[in-house]
Structure 1
Amino acid sequence: MSYEKLAKEIIELVGGEKNVTSLVHCATRLRFVLKDDTKANKGKLENTEGVITVKESGGQFQVVIGNTVPEVYNAIGKISNILSDSKKTSASDTAKKGNIFGQAVDIISSIFAPLLGVMAGAGILKGLLLIASNAGWLETTETTYIILAATADSLFYFLPLLLAATTARKFEGNVFTALTIAGALLYPSIIALKDQDAAITFFGIPVTMMSYSSTVIPIILSVIVMSKLEKVCNRFIHESVKNFITPLISLVVMVPLTLIVFGPIGVNVGNGIAAVMVAAFAFNPMLAGAILGASWQLLVIFGVHWGLVPVFINNIAVNGSDGVKPAAAASVFAQTGAALGVFLKTKNKKLKALAGSATITALFGITEPAVYGVTLRLKRPFIAGIIGGAVGGAIIGQAGTKAFASGAPGLLTLPTFYGPGGQGFMGLIIGIIAAFIVSAVLTYILGFEDPVEVDEPTIDSEETKEKSDEEVLSPLDGTVIPLSKVPDPVFSSEAMGKGIAIKPTSGKVVSPVNGTVTVAFKTKHAIGLVSESGAEILIHVGIDTVQLDGKYYTSNVKHGDQVKVGDILIEFDIDKIKEAGYQVITPIIVTNSSHYTEITAIQKESVREQDKLLSLHI
């Protein structure tokens, strides 16, 4: 795959470079903030090779790529100015859309996402050292252990420094000033004050000393306020001196303010949230584990799992371990098992290949390709994964498994759950195996609607060319109805041509072919197309709906427009149309049927957008 080609297509389909306010990426997604979401062509993006799916959440337009997202992100940087422009964009700009909760999730994800890779690496090393120590392979007094332990622990000990940098970038503050504030909190003499018996004051103001190594909330609060203070200072201080006067004011104000106010508040809030989560697991660990195991991937889909990441990190920092996060591992391995179930059952070669690669990726903690590309798309496998996650989560919760370092749950990060004596680790292994097997078996038993295999003709296959000269794909999701049963004689008699009808389950019509719009009715209830191969197609949304005069319909194209498969043509409100007394049964007619020797329709009860619908034979 050409990453630059994919990057160019993505930029074009999100509305062009000028429509992008900012762009960041996490483990699998490009997270755009767009000036105008309506300019983005979500349908085309979802059908672009190299794109798994597209999600809109928390004011972000998220393009799910998978493991190659860093390469695509870098390619975007090479062919555009989007990345340099993103660095100039403040949090107030990037979080301006969505509700308060959505904005909070966006801020948290932007702060923590850049650290996930190195955090996982350090977490794996820390877990391996725990195993080596408990197994007697390395003594904690050995210099080899001491060097490796410092390597693993440095990220977590100096976490305020890293969070200072990412928070300053998010809120358009001076990164070096933010790092200096964080450094002051970890300065040896400041740390030593915590153990003094004498009262600590700053110009007579009492200071409650806390331990700030590995903390999360205090430095984030401090840098957010620092960024606001900098903007005020820069507004009023003359340009000739503001480059050093603004940092001076920021340091003199923010370090004491953090020690007096933000530090104690942040530490206590973090401890309080952690205590609530721990209490839930202590009250009924099996139930709490089942709930988190079942719901974790749902939280990931909506992006709200970021709200729990600081809790996990804070628990490890304060207590040395976290008993909440392990249940999330069950959800990861459950969706992995569901993807494997699809791989074993599907007859579709493309889906089998996708499910196979997604299973391997998910085993290492990256579930987006499995969820968005396989299980969620097929529905029942995703539900099987939720059930498997609940089973595994209940086992892990009851076992009292704890995480001793951060990192996305996966095969490589299993050592992070191995603590002194291995307590709860075997419960984790049993739990993830149970989640994996239950989900895979349920997926295989419950089954799913296997996509129809579309055989593409080759140059040497003349027989294939004769059998299927053109395919018309489904423009709708819904139930298939023979044309003879459509309650309108104009269509049921095939007077307008042969075809099929669909009772839609969603209010969107997409193009079933690559071609041109030949008729765009003013009433918006119908549209005519001619394909690149010459098939003339009429899509009529509803029966007698011309009488609505366009009410409850939105047309996205006009006469003469060129369209590709998956382009959105018409959007309509199913419920409103029904309330107005009209049926939404939608005939799809080949109006030049006489040009074909045979037109055959799919033999299925229901279809999804872009499923094979009609085969036209010359």
Structure 2
Amino acid sequence: MSQEKLAREIVQGVGGESNVVSLVHCATRLRFTLKDNAKADKAALEKTDGIITVKESGGQFQVVVGNKVPEVYAAIGEVSGILNESKNGENSKDKASAGKKGFGAVIDVISSIFAPLLGVMAGAGILKGLLLIADNFGWLPKTSSTYIILFGAADSLFYFLPVLLAVTTARKFGGNIFTAMTIAGALLLPSVTALNGAETDVTFFGIPVVMMSYSSTVIPIILAVIVMSKLEKFFNRVIHESVKNFLTPMISLAVMVPLTLLVFGPFGVYVGNGIADALLAAFSFSPLIAGAILGAGWQLLVIFGVHWGLVPVFINNIAVYGRDGIKPAATASVFAQTGAAFGVMLKTKNKKLKTLAGSATLSAVFGITEPAVYGVTLPLKRPFIAGIIGGAVGGAIIGQGGTQAFASGAPGLLTLPIFYGPGGQGFPALIIGIVASFVISATLTYIMGFKDPVEESEEDKAKSDTSASGKNATTPASSVAPATASAAGSIGETALSPLSGTVIPLADVPDPAFAAEAMGKGVAIEPSVGRVVAPFDGTVTVAFKKKHALAVVSDTGAEILVHVGVDTVKLDGEHFTSHIQEGDRVKAGQLLLEFDIEKIRAAGYPTVTPVIVTNTFDYADVLPLQQGEVQAGDELLETIPGHDADGDGGSKQSA
């Protein structure tokens, strides 16, 4: 598919050009801020050739397209007006209030500001790392003019980072880009920076000014431009049309530069240093444990889009201390998922999956893990878990070895030079850590196995036979289930629908954990009646205090989770009435929970309800038995017995 055609389909899939507030991109994702996410056709986009997956995270509608994202981004600019500055200005008033609240809004702001810089930041970081290596080995001394020129090319981005952040922040908040750049330039002006080392007191109309170095800083200019953008809108409303084009910038500069030096600068530097010191303290307390946690959890943070919260910390550490000891452990997570994808490539007998895993491994080696995670390891589940384990081991080694990052850049094979500092201290631990994470993840993936699509045709036949016999039987499922026990000890069972409504695939649930089947297989139901009943005879194992979810285990071992709505935990139990407690015995069809559909929707939360078999791994498969409309008490899910211990997906039959 041509990039132009793909761009047109993406624009149509996100609800059209008129539904787009803003668009930025990072290394692999197009990050849309939409006026109304409900207008986007997520299911259609995910089926489009050239799109790996679609995520909704941090208030953004993210279309993952992989390494070709710059070309697709440019093509969107050619086929639409989405990238026009005029459009961004028109929609700027909506950007800060596009339906995002709390932490999601913070993540949206951070990602929008930093994402456009990641490519050049990685390139500059690699060059800087290579120069450090060249100096350490005596190939190119620091005193040579060649080194100075090349180092200037590498270090310019980091020194003038406030100017670049002024541009991206102004775009995000609809401010005047040139005014924002001028404010940042004032912070770096030689005559102003010279005041930092002046022996005399620095004042502004008698008010003491705490001078600091603002080169490479992050938080001060972001705060300044956000406030500047708000002031501009106010001045443009109250100043006459004939003079506002020059009076508004004049007032903005006269107010914001002193205000930044007096308030935002010191505050931002202190806050950034405080966060950095807290994280560094965690690494100082136990670098092994801290490294293991970051190595295991980095890809989870990436999946939910919250890793952006740490990006300013990494950059701030390099700006303030000249190095960062937190980011290196994240490199283990990248190579761990790479190893897991490589293990899938070695293990699978399915040609299509082998090709996909191979190409995903190659991309992941260079730091682009989305194709590996979303296309290979996460859908297969066990390889993703193997990657988490491998990342924990590698992160622990890197953390304990004291590896430091001396420049910014996405973790990957090409960016390894950014971790090579004076004397190479900590660099061997990095190499050992990423090798360990790769090898451990690949090995565990191969040993633990996964459900290989190569046996799909044989399994489908077995499933069809089992499903047909289950559907034609007139005896209740609970009475016939023990007769289907397998060699592995799992028992087939039919679960009844706990709700009335419309059955939809889990992939359409606007929550990545459910959509990726990370919690287990099942279906989702858009409820028409606010009642949840027991899916079989069993015991309530989980009854959340906030009443939005519950779990029941059957007498034969099937575990069903019913999660009413998405993010409804934030309602703190409002609009829910629970009729059970943990440990209660329940009968099939017994009322467990009631909820007010309209009030939950009015509060802004989707009511689509995942119904999940949380112990999916105990079975060969979990089959949906209904499509379209379903009534509470109808047969909904069937667990297929015969899951084998080695995880290759084959169905073992006892003699």
TM-score tier (shorter):
0.7 to 0.9
Q: After superposition, what is the alpha-carbon deviation per residue over 1:278-318, rounded to whole angstroms, capped at 9, x for unaligned?
A: 11111111011001100100111111111101100000010
CA RMSD of aligned residues (A): 3.7
In structure 2, C-alpha distance between the alignment counterparts of 1:444 and 1:121, rounded to whole Å: 35
Query: Of the candidates 273, 276, 280, which is equivalent to residue 275 of structure 2?
Result: 273
In structure 1, C-alpha distance between the alignment counterparts of 2:497 and 2:54, rounded to whole Å: 20
Q: After superposition, what is the alpha-carbon deviation per residue over 1:195-232, rounded to whole angstroms, capped at 9, x for unaligned?
A: 11111111101011101111111111111111111111
Query: Of the candidates 179, 184, 187, which is equivalent to residue 186 of structure 2?
Result: 184
- Counting only pairs closer than 5 Å after superposition, residues 139-150 of structure 1 correspond to structure 2 as 139-150=141-152
Query: Of the candidates 390, 395, 399, which is equivalent to residue 392 of structure 2?
Result: 390
What TM-score do you get using the length of structure 2 for normalisation?
A: 0.73
Give 2:441's aligned residue.
439
Aligned residue for 1:55, secondary structure, equals strand
Q: After superposition, what is the alpha-carbon deviation per residue over 1:397-435, rounded to whole angstroms, capped at 9, x for unaligned?
A: 000000000000111100000000000000000000000
Contact 1:480 1:502 in 2 (8 A): no
Give 1:28's aligned residue.
28
Cα offset, 1:48, TM superposition: 1.8
Contact 2:466 2:640 in 1 (8 A): no
Give 2:56's aligned residue.
56
Query: Are 1:485 and 2:470 counterparts?
Result: yes
In structure 1, C-alpha distance between the alignment counterparts of 2:58 and 2:228, rounded to whole Å: 25
> Which runs of 5 or more structure 2 residues have no equivalent in the other structure?
478-491, 508-527, 530-587, 598-606, 613-621, 628-637, 644-655
In structure 2, C-alpha distance between the alignment counterparts of 1:287 and 1:483, rounded to whole Å: 51
In structure 2, C-alpha distance between the alignment counterparts of 1:394 and 1:547, rounded to whole Å: 49
> Which runs of 5 or more structure 1 residues have no equivalent in the other structure?
456-466, 493-499, 513-521, 524-544, 555-569, 576-583, 590-600, 607-618
Give 1:328's aligned residue.
330
Query: Of the candidates 309, 312, 319, which is equivalent to residue 311 of structure 2?
Result: 309
Contact 2:623 2:639 in 1 (8 A): no
Contact 2:66 2:370 in 1 (8 A): yes
Aligned residue for 2:197, secondary structure, equals coil
- Counting only pairs closer than 5 Å after superposition, residues 336-355 of structure 1 correspond to structure 2 as 336-355=338-357
- Taking structure 1 as reference, are residues 332 and 197 closer, same or farther at Cα in structure 2, changes over 3 Å only? same
In structure 2, C-alpha distance between the alignment counterparts of 1:86 and 1:391, rounded to whole Å: 45
Cα offset, 1:9, TM superposition: 2.2
Aligned residue for 2:111, secondary structure, equals helix
Query: Are 1:152 and 2:154 counterparts?
Result: yes
Contact 2:405 2:420 in 1 (8 A): yes
Give 2:12's aligned residue.
12
What TM-score do you get using the length of structure 1 for normalisation?
A: 0.77
Cα offset, 1:79, TM superposition: 1.9
- Taking structure 1 as reference, are residues 214 and 588 closer, same or farther at Cα in structure 2, changes over 3 Å only? closer
- Taking structure 1 as reference, are residues 339 and 553 closer, same or farther at Cα in structure 2, changes over 3 Å only? farther
Give 1:72's aligned residue.
72
Contact 1:348 1:452 in 2 (8 A): yes
Q: After superposition, what is the alpha-carbon deviation per residue over 1:6-42, rounded to whole angstroms, capped at 9, x for unaligned?
A: 2222223323333333322211111122233223222
Give 2:404's aligned residue.
402
In structure 2, C-alpha distance between the alignment counterparts of 1:37 and 1:230, rounded to whole Å: 29
- Taking structure 1 as reference, are residues 491 and 587 closer, same or farther at Cα in structure 2, changes over 3 Å only? farther
Cα offset, 1:51, TM superposition: 1.1
In structure 2, C-alpha distance between the alignment counterparts of 1:372 and 1:67, rounded to whole Å: 14
In structure 1, C-alpha distance between the alignment counterparts of 2:623 and 2:9, rounded to whole Å: 35
Aligned residue for 1:67, secondary structure, equals helix
Contact 1:481 1:502 in 2 (8 A): no
Aligned length: 522
In structure 2, C-alpha distance between the alignment counterparts of 1:40 and 1:127, rounded to whole Å: 42
One-letter amino acid of the structure 1 residue matched with residue 149 of structure 2: I
One-letter amino acid of the structure 2 residue matched with residue 81 of structure 1: G
Query: Are 1:165 and 2:167 counterparts?
Result: yes
In structure 2, C-alpha distance between the alignment counterparts of 1:147 and 1:88, rounded to whole Å: 41
In structure 2, C-alpha distance between the alignment counterparts of 1:202 and 1:511, rounded to whole Å: 60
Cα offset, 1:70, TM superposition: 1.6
Aligned residue for 2:119, secondary structure, equals helix
Contact 1:483 1:587 in 2 (8 A): no
One-letter amino acid of the structure 2 residue matched with residue 509 of structure 1: I
- Counting only pairs closer than 5 Å after superposition, residues 219-238 of structure 1 correspond to structure 2 as 219-238=221-240
Give 2:284's aligned residue.
282
Cα offset, 1:128, TM superposition: 0.5
Cα offset, 1:272, TM superposition: 0.9
- Taking structure 1 as reference, are residues 163 and 573 closer, same or farther at Cα in structure 2, changes over 3 Å only? closer
- Counting only pairs closer than 5 Å after superposition, residues 438-517 of structure 1 correspond to structure 2 as 438-452=440-454, 481-486=466-471, 489=474, 508-510=503-505
Q: After superposition, what is the alpha-carbon deviation per residue over 1:432-480, rounded to whole angstroms, capped at 9, x for unaligned?
A: 000000000001111111124779xxxxxxxxxxx9xxx99x9xxxx99
Give 1:462's aligned residue.
none
One-letter amino acid of the structure 2 residue matched with residue 275 of structure 1: D
- Taking structure 1 as reference, are residues 203 and 95 closer, same or farther at Cα in structure 2, changes over 3 Å only? same
Aligned residue for 2:452, secondary structure, equals coil
One-letter amino acid of the structure 1 residue matched with residue 410 of structure 2: A
Cα offset, 1:485, TM superposition: 2.4
In structure 1, C-alpha distance between the alignment counterparts of 2:146 and 2:229, rounded to whole Å: 41
One-letter amino acid of the structure 1 residue matched with residue 414 of structure 2: L
Give 2:41's aligned residue.
41
Contact 1:59 1:95 in 2 (8 A): no
One-letter amino acid of the structure 2 residue matched with residue 41 of structure 1: D
Aligned residue for 2:66, secondary structure, equals coil
Identity of aligned residues (%): 68
One-letter amino acid of the structure 2 residue matched with residue 161 of structure 1: V
One-letter amino acid of the structure 2 residue matched with residue 12 of structure 1: Q
Contact 2:122 2:408 in 1 (8 A): yes
Contact 1:483 1:491 in 2 (8 A): no
Cα offset, 1:91, TM superposition: 7.1
Contact 1:291 1:390 in 2 (8 A): yes
Give 2:566's aligned residue.
none
